[in-house]
Amino acid sequence: MDFFTEHLLTAILFSPVVAGLVLLFLPGEEKKLLRVAAFIGSLIPLALSLILWFRFDPTATGFQFEEQAAWYEAINSSFHLGVDGISLAMILLTAILTPLAILASFGISDRVKAYMILFLFLETGMLGVFMSLDLLIFFVFYEIGLVPMYFLINQWGSATGERKLWGGMVVPARTYASFKFMVYTMGASLGLLLAIQMIGVVSGTFDLPELYRSWTSLSGTYFGLDIAQVKTIAFWAFTIAFALKVPVWPFHTWLPDAHTEAPTAGSMILAGVLLKLGAYGFIRLVLPLYPDQAKYFAGAIAFLAVMAIIFGAFASYGQTDFKRLVAYSSVNHMGFVVLGIAAAALSVGTENAVIAMNGTVLQMFNHGLSAAGMFFLVGVLYDRTHTRDLTKYGGLFPLIPVYGGILIFTSMASLGLPGLNGFVSEFLVVRGAWPVLTLHTALSMIGLLFTGAYILKGIKSTLHGPVNKEWIGHLKEIDKRELLVIVPLMALMLWLGIWPGWLLGVINHTVTALFG
């Protein structure tokens, strides 16, 4: 292998940081230059990821493009990167969504430089999680992504809105949302941090491939507890951290707030990629490190997932704020991801597990596309109307027909219409989960029904019904830059709906090796 291939992952991982540092030295007043530079900077990891995609051997087992360098030798943690089919799909998703999100934020004119730098740093944080093969490095990237997101919400979030706190203090809504996001996530990952420390003390290493072997086969007594009990506690520490990130009911309450207050591009990345970090944590860490516990508690996790699916759909239907509606739809859709994970954990070693897990990873990818698309479209409408209140729209279809068509298309993909991407993955999850979690799956169908209801409610309240006269003559049709953001997403949704094989081919081999 040549030098370039050997260090391809490092190149992908750090190219956004390098681009961010370049931005640091550009003049702050040149807003156009900064935007274009950030966009080009985010195209570099995309180009490199495409190279990675084509050089990746889908038929090989195990991790590819592995790199290992000394990092923290005193505690045996090394900078170990590598990808398999699952992480490759996620890297591709991140690399696709970031340039689009940056393009979507060309309308930002307040402190463009800081905004773009944070965005690029965020991309490195996300990519790092998907590439890490070292538990400590995983945690480093998992946490570091919080910082840019916190500031994106806190500084560039919606400027209006207030929240009354417990105790009567009134704070700006974006302050409340960003604080909640940060402290919730940090609080939940505290257990993860402690469990990682414990694993480090017990195993003496943080290297994942090594832990897959040594940690799972560990026996004896640790800290006065039987290893099975230690693992159960650590399992829940991991599970809660990732469940909050996904998020599943009842850990989801930070999500609607964060989404509602975040700037459009922030929401796109938050829903598109950040939520996937939690699901990816389940797949990369929880299932391989705690196969027995995951199998034992699969029912409980599936229950949470079903609650997320049902309540997510109901809550979404009940919203009058367009962005909150889409935010709750994320809870609903990510529920299927967790359902698939639970099914795979329960039936590991069978065909069902493989099908469910294929569906899960594909659903992660699909939800990334459709949620980013939906949040973008909500943002486009908000930019024009400065309201997100569904009751204030109505009958906009004739005023902005192109936008209307795009919104319907994206909504249908989100709803899971056959022929578009969402259908394939949800079908696979349900097909894989049905034989092993029949009751759960059956109940989740209620949620699926209401998915249709809230999606149609969103379309109806914005596009159909009597025209709200206020908007006549004031609405601009979607412009070229905005089309440039949404069209690639639509193309991918359609492509994955018609022929999911190109992506499943990569995912399937890895999933079969892990869960077959």
Partner 1 sequence: MAFPILSIIVFTPLAAGLLLLLVPGEKQNEIRVAALGAAAFTLLLSIFVYFGYDEGVGGYQFVEKYGWLPQLGVSYYVGVDGLNAPLVLLTGIVMFTGVLISWKIDDRPREFFAFLFILATGVFGVFVALDLFMLFFFYEIAVFPMYLLIAIWGWKVTREYAAMKLTLYLFIGSVIALVGALGMYFASGLGTFDMIALEQANFSPGFQAWAFPMVFMGFAVLGGLFPFHNWSPVGHVAAPTAVSMFHAGVLMKLGAFAALRVGMMLLPQGAQMWMPVVLFLALINVVYGAFIAMVQTDFKYVIGYSSVSHMGLVMFGLASMSRTGFVGAGMQMFSHGVMTALFFAAVGMVYDRAHTREIPKLGGIAKNLPVVAVTFIIGGLVSMGMPGFSGFVAEFPIFMGVWGGGSSPINTNWNFAAWVMPLIAIIAAISIVVTASYIIRIIRKVFFGEMPAEFEGHITSISALDKVALIFLATILILLGIFPSLMVPMVESGVENVLRLFGGA
Q: Which residues bind partner 1 (CB under 8 A)?
A: 70-75, 136, 139-144, 147, 150, 154-155, 175, 179, 182-183, 186-187, 190, 193-194, 197-198, 200-201, 221-225
Smallest distance, partner 1 to C-beta of residue 190, A? 6
In the bound state with partner 1, the residue whose beta carbon lies nearer, of 60 and 194, is 194
- Judged by DSSP in three states, 172 sits in strand
In the bound state with partner 1, the residue whose beta carbon lies nearer, of 234 and 506, is 234
Smallest distance, partner 1 to C-beta of residue 222, A? 7
3-state SS of 65-120?
EEEEEEEEHHHCEEEEEEECHHHHHHHHHHHHHHHHHHHHHHHCCCCHHHHHHHHH
In the bound state with partner 1, the residue whose beta carbon lies nearer, of 132 and 410, is 132
In the bound state with partner 1, the residue whose beta carbon lies nearer, of 69 and 445, is 69
Smallest distance, partner 1 to C-beta of residue 46, A? 24
Phi and psi based region of residue 162 (left: phi greater than 0; alpha: psi -120 to 50; beta: remaining):
beta
Name the phi and psi angles at 164, rounded to 5.
-90, 125
Smallest distance, partner 1 to C-beta of residue 272, A? 23
Nearest-angstrom CA–CA distance, 377 and 367: 15
Smallest distance, partner 1 to C-beta of residue 155, A? 7
| 8 Å CB contact between 84 and 131 | no
Smallest distance, partner 1 to C-beta of residue 79, A? 10
DSSP annotation of 418: B
In the bound state with partner 1, the residue whose beta carbon lies nearer, of 202 and 355, is 202
* Vertex 514 angle, CA 509 and 515, to 5°: 100
In the bound state with partner 1, the residue whose beta carbon lies nearer, of 112 and 437, is 112
Produce one character per residue of 403-414: b if its CB has 16 or more CB atoms within 10 Å, e if not. Answer: bbebbbbbbbbb
In the bound state with partner 1, the residue whose beta carbon lies nearer, of 140 and 369, is 140
Smallest distance, partner 1 to C-beta of residue 75, A? 6
In the bound state with partner 1, the residue whose beta carbon lies nearer, of 143 and 321, is 143
Smallest distance, partner 1 to C-beta of residue 72, A? 5
In the bound state with partner 1, the residue whose beta carbon lies nearer, of 179 and 434, is 179
Query: What angle do helix axes 322-346 and 438-463 make, rounded to 10 degrees?
Result: 160
3-state SS of 455-488?
HHHHHHHHHCCCCCHHHCCCCCCCCHHHHHHHHH
Nearest-angstrom CA–CA distance, 136 and 512: 27
* Cα 173 to Cα 69, 149, 252, distances in angstroms: 43, 16, 17
C-beta neighbour count of 498 within 10 angstroms: 12
In the bound state with partner 1, the residue whose beta carbon lies nearer, of 147 and 467, is 147
Smallest distance, partner 1 to C-beta of residue 389, A? 26
Smallest distance, partner 1 to C-beta of residue 40, A? 24
Q: How many CA atoms lie within 13 A of 364 on its CB side?
A: 36
Smallest distance, partner 1 to C-beta of residue 167, A? 14
In the bound state with partner 1, the residue whose beta carbon lies nearer, of 125 and 340, is 125
| 8 Å CB contact between 39 and 103 | yes
Smallest distance, partner 1 to C-beta of residue 31, A? 17
In the bound state with partner 1, the residue whose beta carbon lies nearer, of 274 and 507, is 274
Cα separation of the two ends of the chain: 30
Nearest-angstrom CA–CA distance, 191 and 250: 17
Nearest-angstrom CA–CA distance, 266 and 181: 13
In the bound state with partner 1, the residue whose beta carbon lies nearer, of 277 and 377, is 277
Count, residues in the chain:
516
* Cα 231 to Cα 199, 234, 245, distances in angstroms: 9, 5, 21
Query: Of the candidates 92, 76, 72, which has an alpha carbon nearest to the alpha carbon of residue 84?
Result: 92
Nearest-angstrom CA–CA distance, 62 and 476: 51
Nearest-angstrom CA–CA distance, 19 and 30: 16
Smallest distance, partner 1 to C-beta of residue 180, A? 11
Q: Which amino acid would we find at residue 102?
A: I
